[in-house]
Amino acid sequence: MMRSLMLSTAITLCLGQYVSAQTQDETLRNAEAFAPENAIVDTSIPFAIGAREARQELRGAFGWPTFQEGLVEGVYFRFDPDGYARFAPSPRLDTDVFEVICRPGTLNCQGRKGLLSIYLNGNGALQLDIAEVGDGDTMFLIEGASELQLPKRILGPLDERMELLLGSGGELLIKRGELKVARISLAGFSAVAAYLRWITARQDYGVLPRGWAVPNSSAPQGDPIAVNWQVSPAGQQNQPIFERQEKPANNPIASPATQQGSNEVLLNINELRDLLSASNDEAQPKSRLEIQPQSTVVREQSFADSDQTQISALQDTARALLEAAETLQKDTVRTDENMAFQNHQSGESPKRLANQLDYLMTEFGLDAKTALALIEREHDSELLQDNEAKLRIAPSSGNIEPSGDIVLDILAELRGQPSGPNLREESDDGFSRDEYQLLSDYFKSVFSGD
Amino acid sequence: MEENNKQRKRKLFGSGFLILLTSVAVVFAVAWYTASAARALFLAHEDIKPIIAGGDLDELPALLRGNEPSVTTSLVRGTSRREKPPRMCEMSEDYFDAIDRGLDQPSGYTKRNEYVRKYRARRGFLNEREMRAARVAWKYFELFTQETTGLANSVGNYPSTTLWDTASYLAAIVAAYEICIIEKPELDRRITQLLTTVKSLDLFRGEMPNKVYHTKSGAKVDYTNKPGEIGFSALDIGRFLVWMRIIKNRYPHHGNTIDSVLLKWDFSNTVSEEGLLFGAFVDDETGETVYAQEGRLGYEEYAAKGFALWGFRPIMAHRAEPFLTASIYDVPVPYDGRDPRIFHSQNYVVTESYLQDGLELGFDLPHDDSSPDWLNSDGWRAEFADRIYEVQERRWRQSGFMTARSEHNVKGPPYFTYDTVFSDGYPWNTVTPRGDYVPDHAAVAAKAALGLWALWETEYTDVLYEAIIELYDPEVGMYEGLYERGQGRVEIFTANNNGIILTSLLHKVQGTILTPFEGDTEVWYTAFRDQDLRVVRKYPDPPQEEDWLPAVRHSLHQEVRR
């Protein structure tokens, strides 16, 4: 009975995704004619600090007389009253452009860059589509020399951590076997995601990520960090991480039922664990490949790995569907009591997780991916040991992920076993070991305590 | 003693009598002299030639100045005026055998700074394919002209228009009539209805036509077609004035209507004392009208000539300076030298403004009503146009990209692009009005391609012709263009594109579209002479020789290597 219920829920979700994709196609087809009633955005309300409304000279009879332009999250942007926007790293908005197009007259918008498109689904969750991706294709997040395999379920609704991961920058690599099918820059991903939410919420700052520099807010005005969703400017700064703002009551798309809460945190932690396992599993065959690139055995192994990856991806998809169904079911009967129970059961609190992430990113300058990995490792000692062993085996190949070094260093520091330069009594910077130890202690205390 | 007394008395009497006579004589002499002097003084002008009304010595009161003829080259130089060519269906079969194309004339400037181009325009009857294109282009206006107002939509079924696009509609009407797609009743009906509507338009703050009007209601609207006002565009008005002059000169029976339309407008803030063109917009914060110089190299001169055709003297707007050149494929492409960062106005180099000058005005000065088509009295305009053509042909030859660049509409956001030869420091820059670089919207603009084909008879424009002449939907009109990067047609239909295509086809048949004015006086110049309205609204007097825009030539200025 339970199984059939879950199966039917999964099918419903799949159908929902299909319908949603169809709707997006229709959006693009219909977004052709200019109509003043398509104005959905007030360009005088700044999307971020420093943004300004500008007038444009029009030669023709119609068009939007104003637009807004600015710089946020390292990308320049301009958008029109109908929501049409462009985000790009250069002020000319000429290369590496994320384009957002909205279905005329609605808040249903879609961001796209090359093969990649993102949009908010019916539940208000960010969803990612990549055109021309086949069942056997694998996806990787590339940042510098590091390569992190992504589960297939990134093609479905994204949870916050996946969104966070993709928003941290880098490039999305799609491989078909060993063939690199496409490489898509993720520059502007987080800004576009924020923009889509902001539009959907009728320009409510409450849905913007915490740290997002918005006018007249108490948020920090430095580099905005899209780590987690900002709480309302109206004094809710202490809300837990990953908990989204209440959507405006007049929001026609997002539903309050999409508020994930602690259930989602638990789900996300499990997903992150899967993700990390997948990335570590990927590290070893990759090392072998590079040591013996010409070997037939290696090629066979790679095919086997590819099959394994596909199986793993299918399992991931199935798991994601089951989890989604489970979440949906749980949402319907969720009460404050069972939320508290689940929080207790997980041994984790969202607030603590938020503090840890925030601390690692702001104080240590870690990227989101590394910080998440670090947190996950700390919480799973067995996995940690396993990973350390693998990383120690591999150094001769020189193919350890750079982020692994950082993780190891920080973990070593956490255990009071400073490595490398930290072993010296006094560093080049003139800090004594005692001083450094104090900082480490502080870090450790923050990391391990509430 | 007594005898002595008598003698003394006699002497005394004699002396007194003598003094009296002398005094009388003096008085008479003075009186005569004074009278003579006065006579000489008061009757002196009788020796001057009498003043003849309108003669050299007659300082005409304003009341009479409107009766003076507009001085043109044919009047001053005693040459014969160009003649209005017959409609295509009324031309004899050997009509084109007799026309002077100046094929033996060497290229270059003359002493009067006229210019003979390296290329010649195409001339001849329209063939079957061209007639089909013309009929399809006219189809657009059959479909999208509003019955209620006679205004044609700028873009497809979107019910709004500008004076620029209304001028394109007028161009289409003239072309359709002259190449015998429509007959005179329809010509008159369309022109009369349109001009009646234009005359009744609610002006921007009682001054000049608003930038945009709703085509169904004729109400002034903003860019989103909602009731409101934007301001006015001197460039749009300038193009409209060109077509008002063309229609008035070709069809004098519409002259009174045209004059009455223009005599409703207040030009006091549009053409400055220095001869610059000013548009207007509304200040967002104060709601006040703000007047701002309008126009950059290319469009500015074309619009200036529109004003000059009605007696204004926009001498600075007609000058090319300040301009710079960018060397693209070794062609010094001229662009406006006013820095966009300072003046907040982009300096797009596109084909369209040069085409319109060439097709409609023959690259001639407004007072020139006698030079042959191959001799361009506004010499530098013709020379610059040649450069704009050459750089596009060279791009095709050296990169393989067919190139006919212009501003054009696109389907969907951003709805409009400036597809330029040069702008913002970049060659072949395709940008939106808000400044985004959108190379995917680069296209062979249909109007630019056929305009180039009409004015430059070359192998390259034959290629453009093949690309565009069948680029149409037979039920709607000519498509806007063909995407450069292979995305197919620019599937949108506009009044401007179809109007310019019809103009290009008409140019092949008749040459320069503007024909000389053949009347004597115009209501435009004689109206309101008994009021101060002409002074208040700055209506001009008929232009005299000293009012002519100067014919100049330019040496190359600063050059930017690209």
Query: Closest approach of chain B CAs to the CA of A90, in angstroms?
Result: 11
Q: Averaged over A136-148, what is the pLDDT?
A: 86
Q: List the B278-282 sheet strands across, edge first.
A: B231-232, B278-282, B289-293
Contact B223 A64 (CB under 8 A): yes
Q: How far is CA A15 from the centre of its chain?
A: 24
**pLDDT of res. A81:** 93
- Confidence grade of residue A272 (pLDDT, cut at 50, 70, 90): low
Residue A61's pLDDT band (cuts 50, 70, 90): confident
Q: Which residue has better confidence, B1 or B451?
A: B451
Which has the higher per-residue pLDDT, B236 or A211? B236
Q: Find, in chain A, the residue whose alpha carbon is nearest to that of B496.
A: A60
> What stretches of B43-123 show up as alpha helix (H) in DSSP?
62-65, 73-77
User: What percent of chain A clears pLDDT 70, i.e. is strictly above it?
Assistant: 41
Q: Hey, are the CB atoms on A82 and B413 less than 8 Å from each other?
A: yes
Distance CA B302, CA B213 (A): 23
For residue A201, the model assigns a pLDDT of 93
Highest mean pLDDT of the ranges A256-265, A382-391, A435-444, B188-197 = B188-197
Nearest to B151 by CA among B87, B221, B208: B221
Alpha-carbon gap: A117 to the closest alpha carbon of chain B (Å): 17
What are the C-alpha distances in Å from A357 to residues A129, A147, A447, B267? 28, 21, 9, 66
Tokens of A87: 């985000």
Closest CA to B507 of B81, B123, B98: B123
- Nearby residues of A360 by Cβ (< 8 Å), 6 or more positions away: A366, A370, A371, A374, A375
| Range with lowest mean pLDDT among B185-194, B425-434, B472-481 | B425-434
Nearest to B224 among A31, A62, A69 (CB): A62
ipTM exceeding 0.90? no
Given this model, what pLDDT does residue A25 score?
Answer: 42
Angle at A241 between CA A240 and CA A246, to 5 degrees: 70
Confidence category of residue A312, pLDDT binned at 50, 70, 90: low
The answer to whether the beta carbons of residues A187 and A74 sit under 8 Å apart is yes
The residue-averaged pLDDT of B107-133 equals 96
Per DSSP, what are the bridge partners of residue A146?
A: A143
**What was the pLDDT predicted at A367?**
67
The token pair that represents A374 in the structure block: 């670090």
DSSP state of B5: H
Length of chain A: 450
pLDDT in tens, A413-433: 433 333 333 333 334 444 444
- Whether chain B has a CB inside 8 Å of the CB on A34: the answer is yes
Q: What is the pLDDT of residue A161?
A: 84
CA separation for the pair A259, B347 (Å, rounded): 50
Mean of pLDDT values over A359-364:
64
pLDDT at B131 over 70: yes
Exposure string for B92-102, b = 16+ CB within 10 A, e = fewer = eeebeeeeebe
β pairing state of B559-561 and B323-328 = parallel
Chain B positions in Cβ-Cβ contact with residue A58 (cut-off 8 Å): 223, 416, 433
| C-alpha neighbours within 13 Å on the C-beta side of residue B36 | 6
Which tokens hold the place of B559?
């050059």
- Chain B residues with beta carbon closer than 8 angstroms to that of A54: 434
If one compares B319 and A235, the residue with the highest pLDDT of the two is: B319
Residue (of A128, A108, A109) closest to A118 by Cα position = A128
| DSSP state string for B72-122 | -HHHHH-PPPP-PPPPGGGS-TTGGGS----TTSPSEE-TTS-EE-SS---
Interface contact flag, A61 B165, Cβ < 8 Å: yes
Q: What is the pLDDT of residue A369?
A: 67
What's the whole-number mean pLDDT along residues B175-194? 98
Separation CA A370–CA A381 (nearest Å): 17
Residue B339 CA neighbour count, 13 Å, CB half: 2
* Nearest residue to A217 via CA among A9, A51, A90, A48: A48
Residues on chain B bordering chain A, Cβ-to-Cβ distance under 8 angstroms: 154-156, 158, 160-162, 164-165, 212, 222-226, 230, 284, 345-346, 407, 409, 411-416, 433-437, 439
- Show Cβ contacts of residue B429 under 8 Å, excluding neighbours closer than 6 positions: B418, B420, B422, B423, B437
Poorest-pLDDT segment among A185-194, A408-417, B297-306: A408-417
Residue A303 has pLDDT above 50, yes or no: no
Model confidence band, residue A196 (pLDDT cutoffs 50, 70, 90) = very high
The residue ranges of DSSP E strands in B373-425, in sequence order, are 375-376, 407-409, 416-419, 422-423
pLDDT-derived band at A89 (thresholds 50, 70, 90) equals very high
Q: What is the pLDDT of residue B4?
A: 76
3-state secondary structure of B155: strand
- Please, is B105 exposed, middle or buried when counting C-beta atoms within 10 Å of its C-beta (0-12, 13-18, 19+)? middle
Cβ–Cβ gap B434/A58 under 8 Å: no
pLDDT at residue A111, as a whole number: 95
| pLDDT band, residue A243 (cuts 50/70/90) | very low
For B161, nearest residue in chain A (alpha carbons) = A61
Contacts of B27 (CB under 8 A, 6+ apart): none
pLDDT band of residue A344 (cuts 50, 70, 90) is very low
Arithmetic mean of pLDDT, A205-228: 59
**Cα(B391)–Cα(B389) distance, rounded to whole angstroms?**
6
Angle, vertex CA A19, rays to CA A14 and CA A22, nearest 5 = 130
* Nearest Cβ partner for A60 among B409, B435, B439: B409
Q: Which of B165, B223, B346 sits opposite A63 (nearest CB)?
A: B223
What number is the average pLDDT over the span B520-526?
94
- Subunit contact A80:B158, Cβ cutoff 8 A: no
Q: Strands (DSSP E) along B371-516, which ranges? A: 375-376, 407-409, 416-419, 422-423, 426-427, 430-431, 443-445, 472-473, 477-478, 481-483, 489-490
For the ranges A210-224, A262-276, A395-409, B244-258, the maximum mean pLDDT occurs at B244-258
Tokens linked to A8: 């039917």
Q: Pick the residue with more confidence: A306 or A145? A: A145
| A62 to B160: CB separation less than 8 angstroms, yes or no | yes
Band of residue A386 on the pLDDT scale cut at 50, 70, 90: very low
Percentage of chain B with pLDDT > 90? 82
Q: What angle do CA A415, A420, A422 make, to 5 degrees?
A: 65
- Better-scored residue on pLDDT, B400 or A151: B400
pLDDT above 70 (res A324): no
- Using the Cβ of A62 and the Cβ atoms of chain B, whether some distance falls under 8 Å is answered with yes
Reported confidence tier of residue A33, pLDDT bands at 50, 70, 90: confident
At B395, the amino acid letter reads R
Q: pLDDT (tens digit, 9 = 90+) per residue, B531-560?
A: 889 999 999 999 999 999 999 988 654 344
B311 pLDDT band, cuts 50/70/90, is very high
Q: Which residue has the higher pLDDT, A267 or B182?
A: B182
Of B385, B360, B371, give the one whose Cα is nearest residue B303. B360
Q: How far apart are CA A169 and CA B559, in angstroms?
A: 42
pLDDT of residue A279: 52
Comparing alpha-carbon positions, the chain B residue that sits nearest to A104 is B412
Mean of the per-residue pLDDT values of chain A: 63
What pLDDT score does A366 carry? 65
Nearest to B154 among A39, A60, A82 (CB): A60
Give me the mean pLDDT over the B95-103 stretch. Answer: 94
The answer to whether B523 touches B263, Cβ cutoff 8 Å, is yes
pLDDT tens per residue, range B403-455: 999 999 998 888 899 999 999 899 999 999 888 899 999 999 999 999 999 99
Residue A24, pLDDT score: 41
Q: Decide if B162 and A54 are in contact by the 8 Å CB cutoff.
A: no
- The pLDDT value recorded for residue B41 is 72
What tokens were used for B218?
Answer: 């004729």
* CB count in 10 Å sphere of residue A332: 8
Q: Which amino acid is at A20?
A: S
Please give, rounded to a whole number of angstroms, the shortest distance from the CA of B158 to a CA of chain A. 8
What is residue A368's predicted lDDT score, i.e. its pLDDT?
Answer: 66
For residue B368, pLDDT beyond 60: yes
CA distance A251 to A257: 13
Least confident of A20-34, A291-305, B181-195, B239-253: A291-305
Q: Are A169 and A187 in contact (CB under 8 A)?
A: yes
- The residue in chain B having the minimum alpha-carbon distance to the alpha carbon of residue A91 is B436
B237-294 residue pLDDT tens = 999 999 999 999 999 999 999 999 999 999 999 999 999 999 999 998 899 999 999 9
pLDDT at residue B157 in the model: 92
Chain A: nearest CA to B83, how far in angstroms?
34
Residue B118 pLDDT > 90:
yes
**CB B474, CB B485: distance < 8 Å:** no
Residue B350 is encoded by which pair of tokens?
A: 């596109």
Residue B77: CB atoms within 10 A of its CB come to 11
Query: CA of A140 to nearest chain B CA: how many angstroms apart?
Result: 28
Please, which pLDDT band fits residue B90 given cuts at 50, 70 and 90? very high
Contact by Cβ (8 Å): B305, B242: yes
pLDDT at B155: 95
Write the DSSP string, A149-178: EE-GGGGSBPPHHHHHHHHT--EEEEEETT
Residue of B nearest to A76 (CA): B436
Residue B76: band (very low, low, confident or very high) from pLDDT cuts 50, 70, 90: very high
Percentage, residues of chain B above pLDDT 70: 95
Q: Which residue has the higher pLDDT, B22 or A21?
A: B22
- Do the Cβ atoms of B161 and A61 come within 8 Å? yes
Asked if A54 lies within 8 A of B434 by C-beta distance, the reply is: yes
Report how far Cα B545 is from the mean position of its chain's Cα atoms.
17
Return the CA Rg of chain B: 32
Q: Which tokens hold the place of B446?
A: 């249909």
pLDDT score for A219: 40
**How far lies A166's CA from each of A112, A140, A179, A248, in Å?**
14, 10, 22, 26
Minimal CA–CA distance to B310: which of B254, B248, B375, B362?
B248
Residue A223 has pLDDT above 60, yes or no: no
What's the rounded Cα separation, in Å, for the pair A93 and A397? Answer: 41
Helix (H, G, I), strand (E, B) or coil at A258: helix
Distance CA A57, CA B418 (A): 11
Of A95-99, B121-125, B178-182, B354-358, the range with the lowest mean pLDDT is: A95-99
pLDDT digits (tens, 9 = 90+) for B153-184: 999 999 999 999 999 999 999 999 999 999 99
> pTM of the predicted model, to two decimals?
0.70
Which of the two residues, A330 and A170, has the higher pLDDT score? Answer: A170
| Residue A70, amino acid | G
Give A394-398 contacts, CB < 8 A, sequence gap 24+. A394/A283, A394/A284, A394/A287, A397/A287, A397/A290, A397/A291
Mean pLDDT of chain B: 93
The set of residues, in sequence order, having a beta carbon less than 8 Å from that of B346 and lying 6+ positions away, is: A57, B296, B340, B418, B423, B424, B431, B435
User: Which range scores top for mean pLDDT: A177-181, A304-308, B372-376, B518-522?
Assistant: B372-376
A49: closest CA of chain B, how far (Å): 20
- What's the confidence (pLDDT) of residue A55? 85
Evaluate whether A175 touches A138 at the Cβ level (below 8 Å).
yes
How far is Cα B124 from Cα A79, in angstroms, rounded to an integer?
49
Give the C-alpha separation, B506 to B23, whole Å.
Answer: 94
